[in-house]
C-alpha cells in the first residue's frame, strides 16, 4: 500500500481521509466511502482546472498528483485515496515511495473484482488513453489469473461529456455505442469502468452492453478495501462526528460553483460550497513538511 515507512504513532482514527481526482469523477468514490464508513471525515480535491488527466504525460500527471498530496497532507489526513485511474496508473509508484501515510489507488481493487467475476475469461476495460496505454489493468488481472484475456478500449470523450453534465444525453449514447461495439463483438462478460467518471454514465453503458455483461465499479471495491485497511490498522473512526464538525470538505482548482452543482447531484449530501486552491503553491515534493509553500499560501488555499 505504501513503500515508505508509516509512522502509525502519529496517525489518529478521528483524522480525515484525503481523496483526489482530476475532476468530479472521484465523487463516485466519496459516495461509496460515505455509504460504507459513514463516520469518516473526508477532504476531497478535484483538479477541475487541469482535467482531463488521460491525455497528459506520466511526468505531468505525477507532478499534479504530488502537488495534490502535499495539499491534502496539510489537513493531517490519515490516508489518501487516489480516486483517479490515470493517477493510479501513472503516479502511484512515486506517491507510495515518498509518502509516510497509507495510500490506496483504484486500479488494484477493480482488477481483483474483475478477475473474480469473469466466467469466460474475457474482461474488457474502458478508460482514458493513459490508463489503457499503461497496461496496468492487464498486468494486475493476469498476475491474479493468467487465463484471463484483457481487452482495453480508450474512451477519451467520456470524461469531457461527464464534466459537462451530459450523463443521459443522445450524444453520449451514440459515442458510447461506437466505443463499445468492438468489446461486444469480442463477447466479453465483464467490463471494468476504468475511470471514476464512468459510473456516472453507468445506465448508458449497461443499456448498450446488455444484461449478460457484469459492470465492475472500482469505486465500490476501493471503499471496501479502504475500510478493511483502516480496521486492520485501528484507524477506523467509530464515533460519528458532532454537529458543526465540517465532516466533508471540498476543494477544487477552478469553477467551484459548477463543481458544487455536480457534487450535489452525485452524493446527495447538501454541499453548500467548495473552495478554490492555487495548486502551484504546493509544488516541490510530498514529504509532509512546509517545504515549498508558505503559511499564507495555505491560508489562502483553505479560505478559497
Q: Which CATH number is 8-106+221-303's, of 1.10.1780.10, 1.10.760.10, 3.40.50.2300, 3.40.50.1860?
A: 3.40.50.1860
Q: How many CB atoms lie within 10 A of CB 225?
A: 19
Give me the residue label for grid cell 474475457. 122
Q: Is 22 annotated as a binding residue?
A: yes
CA angle 269, 299, 297 (to 5 degrees): 120
54 is in an annotated binding site: yes
Q: How far apart are CA 207 and CA 233, in angstroms?
A: 41
Q: What is the mean pLDDT of residues 246-262?
A: 93
Which distant-in-sequence residues (6+ apart) come within 8 Å of 266 by Cβ?
24, 27, 28, 31, 200
Q: How far is CA 228 from CA 19, 199, 200, 234, in A?
A: 17, 23, 25, 10
- Cα–Cα distances in angstroms (integers) from residue 16 to residues 38, 148, 196, 263, in the given order: 12, 38, 21, 19
Residue 133: CB atoms within 10 A of its CB come to: 16
The pLDDT tens digits for 44-93 are 999 999 999 999 999 999 999 999 999 999 999 999 999 999 999 999 99
d(CA 300, CA 239): 31
Does the annotation count 155 as an active-site position? no
Residue 137 assigned to a binding site: no
Whether the pLDDT of residue 204 is over 50: the answer is yes
Question: Binding residue per annotation — 196?
Answer: yes
Per the listing, cell 482548482 goes with 253
Find cell 482514527 and name the residue.
13
Same fold: 8-106+221-303 with 107-218: yes
Among 29, 115, 195, 200, the one annotated catalytic:
195
Q: Residue 84 catalytic? A: yes
Average of per-residue pLDDT across 83-104: 94
**Mean pLDDT, all residues of the chain:** 90
The angle formed by the CA atoms of residues 55, 260 and 237, to the nearest 5 degrees, is 95
Confidence (pLDDT) at 246:
84
Taking alpha carbons only, the member of 53, 179, 197, 194 closest to residue 125 is 194
Catalytic choice (84, 89, 94, 200) = 84
Would you list the domain boundaries of the chain? 8-106+221-303, 107-218
- For residue 29, the model assigns a pLDDT of 97
Share of the chain above pLDDT 70, in %: 89
DSSP 125: E
Peptide bond between residue 192 and the one before it cis (omega within 30 degrees of 0): no
4 Ramachandran zone, left/alpha/beta (phi>0; psi -120 to 50): beta
Architecture (CATH level 2) of domain 107-218? 3-Layer(aba) Sandwich (3.40)
pLDDT at 201: 97
165 Cβ neighbours under 8 A, 6+ residues apart:
262
Ranges of H-type helices in the chain? 27-36, 58-73, 85-90, 92-98, 107-117, 129-134, 136-144, 158-163, 170-186, 202-209, 218-232, 256-267, 295-303
The pLDDT of residue 7 is 58
Residues 159-178: what's their mean pLDDT?
A: 94
The alpha carbon dihedral of 117, 122, 128, 129 has a sign of: positive
The rounded distance, in Å, linking the Cα atoms of 58 and 56 is 7
For position 302, what pLDDT does the model report?
38
Provide DSSP, 16-54: PEEEEESSSTTHHHHHHHHHH-TT--EEEEE-TTT---T
pTM: 0.88
Amino acid at each position: 500500500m505504501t513503500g515508505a515507512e508509516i509512522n502509525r504513532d502519529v496517525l489518529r482514527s478521528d483524522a480525515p481521509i484525503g481523496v483526489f481526482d482530476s475532476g468530479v469523477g472521484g465523487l463516485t468514490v466519496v459516495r461509496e466511502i460515505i455509504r460504507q464508513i459513514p463516520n469518516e471525515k473526508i477532504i476531497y480535491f478535484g483538479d477541475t482546472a487541469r482535467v482531463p488527466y488521460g491525455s497528459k504525460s506520466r511526468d505531468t500527471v505525477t507532478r499534479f498528483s504530488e502537488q495534490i498530496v502535499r495539499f491534502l497532507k496539510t489537513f493531517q489526513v490519515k490516508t489518501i485515496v487516489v480516486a483517479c485511474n490515470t493517477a493510479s496508473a501513472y503516479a502511484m509508484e512515486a506517491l507510495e515511495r515518498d509518502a509516510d501515510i497509507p495510500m490506496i489507488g483504484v486500479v488494484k481493487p477493480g482488477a481483483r473484482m474483475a478477475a473474480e467475476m469473469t466466467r469466460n475469461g474475457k474482461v474488457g476495460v474502458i478508460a482514458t488513453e493513459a490508463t489503457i496505454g499503461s497496461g496496468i489493468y492487464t498486468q494486475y488481472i493476469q498476475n491474479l489469473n493468467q487465463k484471463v484475456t484483457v481487452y482495453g478500449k480508450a474512451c477519451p470523450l467520456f470524461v469531457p461529456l461527464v464534466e459537462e453534465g451530459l450523463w443521459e444525453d443522445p450524444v453520449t449514447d451514440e459515442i458510447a455505442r461506437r466505443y463499445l461495439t468492438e468489446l461486444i463483438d469480442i463477447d466479453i462478460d465483464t467490463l471494468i469502468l476504468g475511470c471514476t467518471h464512468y459510473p456516472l454514465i453507468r445506465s448508458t453503458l449497461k443499456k448498450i452492453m446488455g444484461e449478460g455483461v457484469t459492470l465492475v465499479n472500482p469505486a465500490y471495491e476501493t471503499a471496501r478495501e479502504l475500510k478493511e485497511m483502516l480496521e486492520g490498522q485501528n484507524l477506523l473512526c467509530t464515533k460519528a462526528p458532532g454537529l458543526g464538525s465540517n465532516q466533508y470538505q471540498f476543494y477544487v482548482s477552478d469553477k467551484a460553483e459548477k463543481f458544487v452543482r455536480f457534487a450535489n447531484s452525485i452524493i446527495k449530501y447538501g454541499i453548500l460550497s467548495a473552495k478554490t486552491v492555487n495548486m502551484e503553491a504546493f509544488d516541490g515534493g510530498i514529504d509532509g513538511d512546509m517545504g515549498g509553500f508558505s503559511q499564507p499560501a495555505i491560508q489562502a488555499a483553505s479560505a478559497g
